[in-house]
A = this chain, B = another copy of it.
Amino acid sequence: MFSKACEYGIRASIFIALNSFEGKRVNPKEIASEIDSPVAFTAKILQALVKHKVINSVKGAHGGFEIEKNKINSIKLSDIVDAIDGNTIYEGCGLGLKACDEARPCPMHDKFKTVRDELKTMLESTNLETLALDMKGGDTFLKR
């Protein structure tokens, strides 16, 4: 469904949000350990998320990655997916035609579009705050 990079990116963002609630910055090493991902690859993904303004980075001593507290509830899963995997999951044809075009649809179009739109709605209506709070309660996990 999503690329590895995107999976790591979402997991990392949730972990960063969780820590940002407590005013704590985190570094790639800690993130990778908590989400069970390769650290250098994770660092690259964090760079991309910074570039897309999903998260913030602070360089130098006492630096790290964070998300402004008051922004956590406005960052949607779709923002992260957009930043890393782009929009093909939302807009692309399920059978891989060059574009999904109502005027010249593939045989799967009608049924696929329904599911794809629900995925889009789900990702656009789920924010980091919601996800992080579940974790805080100990109900959900970022690795297993």
Contacts and interface: CB of A to CB of B under 8 A. Distances in A.
Interface of A: 1-2, 4, 7-8, 10-11, 14, 77, 89, 92, 94-99, 101, 104-109, 111-112, 114-116, 118-119, 122, 126, 131-132, 134-135, 139-144
Contact of A122 (B96, B114, B142): B114
A111 B94 contact: no
B14 A107 contact: yes
A105 B141 contact: yes
B144 A99 contact: yes
A140 to B, nearest CB: 4
A96 B7 contact: yes
Contacts of A118: 114-115, 118
Nearest to A3: B96
Contacts of A135: 107
Nearest to A132: B107
Contact of A94 (B2, B94, B114, B139): B2
Given A108-B131, A111-B126, A122-B114, A98 B1 contact: no
Given A1-B92, A77-B108, A107-B142, 4 more contacts: A1-B116, A4-B96, A101-B144, A107-B140
A7 B93 CA distance: 10
User: Which interface residue of A4, A95, A122 has the most chain B CB atoms within 10 A?
Assistant: A95
